[in-house]
Amino acid sequence: MGLERLIVKGAEEHNLKKVDIDIPRDKLIVITGLSGSGKSSLAFDTIYAEGQRRYVESLSAYARQFLGQMEKPKVEYIEGLSPAISIDQKTTSRNPRSTVGTVTEIHDYLRLLYARVGIPHCPICGKEIKSQTVDEIVDQVLELPERTKIQILAPIVRGRKGEHERTFLQAQRDGFVRARVDGETILLEEAEKLDKNFKHDIEIIVDRLVVKDGIRERLADSVETALEYAEGLVMIDQIDGEITTYSEKFACPEHNISLEEMSPRMFSFNSPYGACDNCDGLGVKKEFDPDLILDKEKSIADGGIIPWASSSSRYYPALLEAMAEEYDFSLETKIENLDDQILEKLLYGDNKKITFPYTNRYGKTRDHTTRFKGITGYLTERMDKSDSPGTHKRMERYMNEIPCHVCHGQRLKPEVLAVTVGGISIAKFSSFTIKEAHEFIAGVELDDRRTKIGKEILKEVRERLRFLLDVGLDYLSLDRSAGTLSGGEAQRIRLATQIGSGLMGVLYILDEPSIGLHQRDNNRLISTLEHIRDLGNTVIVVEHDEDTIRSADYIIDMGPGAGKHGGEIVAEGSLADIIEEERSLTGQYLSGKKKIQVPADRYPAGEKWLSIKGARQHNLKSIDVDFPLGTFTCVTGVSGSGKSTLINNTLKRKMMRELHDSTLHPGEHDEVQGMDQIDKVINIDQSPIGRTPRSNAVTYTKVFNYIRDVFASTPEAKQRGYEIGRFSFNVKGGRCEACKGQGIEEIEMHFLPDVYVPCDVCNGKRYNRETLEIKYKGKTIADVLDMTVEEAVEFFENIEPIRRRLQTLYDVGLGYIRLGQPATTFSGGEAQRIKISKELGKRSTGETLYLLDEPTTGLHFADIKKLLEVLHRLREDGNTVIVIEHNLDVIKSADYLIDLGPEGGEKGGEVVATGTPEEVAQNENSYTGKFLKEVL
């Protein structure tokens, strides 16, 4: 029986109340329930933690010290446990070097492919580069027509300035008689100094021959001598005919560029062998941004170089005049009309020596010689030399993370980018979406030899791309930075990687993989989960998505409430069993007894609008988008259609820059109109509210200041002279110094898990004895931190600033959290709602713009109902709420919709439909409209 079921007995982790459950194995199981009801505590903190711990325990003590120890979860026992793999939302790499390609290992296979079957080209002239042996060169020479007169030349100087006197002397010593200098044949003993101001070509004449039978041996010796003398190059000059250059290295015979033997590390932007030297393989660099330095509608004479426009320096104007003369352009020409090459030299310099008359501040004029470093070079120099924070801050206004101007954002060295497979470079391949890459690999044509070598590698790449297509990620490009992926996308990438591993007999635990997925793509995700199950694995999914719940083989519904009111199993079994159970809130929503009603009336779009014109970042197609102010607007569209680019990268950054002096650069667009009608922007995302256990909900929402004030105002505290700081556990004075106000002590156990025990001085209360003698309504400050929000609302009902702020925490569905609960224990959804409550607790100005990205993550149907009430409250105060969302209950409750699409990636980025939900539902071209029709 143990093999057929996973048995959990007496689970008490977090808020679980001695939970006993038998879970069928090799099935798709969904755990659902209210936010905070104990779903993650059961799935991740109990089942997964125990599976992981048992695996680590089975290793040697030596190996265990590197893996970190896992604490035993609070559970009596678990039987029938398989090796467990968890795929949650928090584990994407934020490293700028991680991309979709590197995370999925596709990039590793591509590097191998390009190293083994790539064709190198010269990055300057684009000609194919081949390496040839002496025999191959001799064979090609002997194919020339009989009686052809040839010279074998060793090119030792190519396009280099100098007198080259020593070069001629050395060649003479080495036994050579003649050379060719700049096309003229001379005797070495008569060679004179060359003009050092001009570039020269010098080839030593190694031998002269006539093509005929019997010369192979002499020809081979001469070719070998020339190759050795000219470091791998030889020129065959057909007298009165053409000259051919051969190379025994991967080198361009025309340009002095050679490749080392091609190896996979050459194609890695994380290796010094392949990474672009300017940006170290990041593709971007914080540099002076030409768009911020130049006012292209002005000429240079009119102050078009913004940092220098108000400068009183006479140096730069004189320098620019000399540049204009040198390169033959006018300082009166508008910058936008200057030639691109001139602009490139002006911005980045060309290190050319330039002499110009310069009058210093004392009125003395003299000739000044310098190498021109370019505008960005002079600005960088000024910033490096200055210690003034003011100068740095002023200069940073002109800086931005921009694509590296050497590799143009492609991360690799020019010679690496010139290697192609099927006619495209590895960087070009990486810029394809997964769908385009899959199509390219399917149709790539190689010659017989390369097909044989590359067959297995291509198969691996093709399979990995197919798994990514199956989880609905066709729109992502392989060079997309891993840090920009949503939680759902990152999870689905890891899911695809797991399918690729083909394991069976494993327990997979997933946390809401449907986040960020449009209803249209849901079926593909569910098929993937079923595919993993059918391989012979048990799949446990913590999920609120209705389609996924309905597709499960077995459902576990946690509840009945959240926090201390949850932690029990309300219902378990098939879909029918859940619907029949009267206590199950999930069942009531699934059966339709309870539902989120369509609002009776919507706020109509008025006269005031916020408009983005010409948005064209990433895949946006120069679109104009209008948001009605004072309403609740939802931005919808399939995954990858451009929602985040439009809202997070363009609108949010532009508004933050204008209203809050942010240094983040907005995505490309023409302008944003209507910003004068907004007084502040508040972005409410799912990032953690604190990185340390010292941060909690009341410190974040600033309620704790008022609570400390209450304790400092008690007669006893005043009598003792205690100020508000006395009641902080972060500073010396009132806190327990044994544990520094943490309440717990970490005891290092080396080969066993580190143990966290309550501090034995303060018994986990965080404060010293004197501070805890101060009481308000019979409770100490430690007792208050241990209360839930629900209890605290009642306790502080007479103190308006505290009650109002705690009430908003309760209103957003967080009545169950403890006031002192560490911020590190909150889920993404809880963190987002704490942020919303912080904003709700402030006095509204009625002119605030609230931006939210998928606020329903981690929320049950009943929680979504509460969230909508809160969003409607913000709107009723006259504010504007813009939400990116896939959840149909939220979409149908909005006043106005903007649907992007029609597809993801390159086929997206357009406005498909706008209007009320009813209007969008009637639009035949909108996928969102199609699903919306069913719920309205």
Task: Name the token pair of 576.
Answer: 């029918």
Other beta carbons less than 10 A from residue 352's beta carbon: 12
630 is in an annotated binding site: no
**Measured between alpha carbons, how far is 23 from 4 in angstroms, rounded to an integer?**
9
Burial class (CB in 10 A: 0-12, 13-18, 19+), 290: buried
Cα separations (Å) of 670 from 306, 338, 409? 19, 21, 23
Structure tokens at 584: 């199950």
Half-sphere exposure of 743 (CA within 13 A, CB side): 14
With beta carbons less than 8 A apart as the criterion, state whether 235 and 205 touch.
no
The string of DSSP codes covering 147-183 is: T-EEEEEEEEEEEEES--HHHHHHHHHTT--EEEETT
**CA dihedral in degrees (117, 121, 123, 125; nearest 10)?**
-160
Tell me: is residue 33 an annotated ligand-binding position. Answer: yes
In 117-256, beta strands by DSSP E:
149-161, 178-181, 184-187, 199-210, 233-238, 243-247, 250-252
CA distance 569 to 18: 10
Specify the amino acid at residue 369: T
Q: In sequence order, what DSSP letters do the residues of 379-444 get, joined into one string? A: HHHHHHH---HHHHHHHHTTEEEEE-TTTTT--B-HHHHT-BBTTB-HHHHHHSBHHHHHHHHHH-
The answer to whether the annotation marks 373 as part of a ligand binding site is no
**CA 805 to chain CA mean position, Å:** 35
Residue 642 assigned as binding residue: yes
625 is in an annotated binding site: no
Residue 578 contacts residue 33 (beta carbons within 8 Å): no
Identity of residue 434: I
Q: Which residues contact 107 (CB under 8 A, 6 or more apart)?
A: 99, 101, 268, 430, 478
Dist CA 204 CA 226 (whole Å): 8
**Buried/exposed code over 748-785 (b: 16+ C-beta within 10 A; e: otherwise):** eeeeeeeeeeebeebebbbbbeebbebebeeebbbebb
Tell me the two tokens of residue 918.
Answer: 């009813």
Structure tokens at 224: 């070998």
Pair 928, 636: CB distance under 8 Å: yes
| 641 annotated as ligand-binding | yes
d(CA 675, CA 880): 12
Show the tokens assigned to 825. Answer: 């224990």
**Beta strands per DSSP E along 504-548:** 507-511, 538-542
H/E element holding 5? Answer: strand 5-11
Task: Tell me: is residue 34 an annotated ligand-binding position.
Answer: yes
Looking at the DSSP bridge assignments, the partners of residue 23 are: 6
**Crossing angle between the packed helical segments 448-470 and 487-501, to the nearest 10 degrees:** 130
Side-by-side strand order, sheet with 609-615: 623-628, 609-615, 671-673
| Residue 815 labelled as part of a binding site | no
531: nearest Cα among 592, 471, 461: 471
Q: Give the whole-angstrom CA distance, residue 858 versus residue 265.
A: 41
561 labeled part of a ligand binding site: no
- Decide if 622 contacts 614 (C-beta within 8 A): yes
- Does the annotation list 40 as a binding residue? yes
Q: Residues 898, 904, 906, 911: what is their CA dihedral angle, to the nearest 10 degrees? A: -10
640 is in an annotated binding site: yes
Paired strand residues for 28: 539
* Residue 311 marked ligand-binding: no
Annotated binding-site positions:
33-40, 637-644
Binding site membership for ATP: which residues? 33-40, 637-644
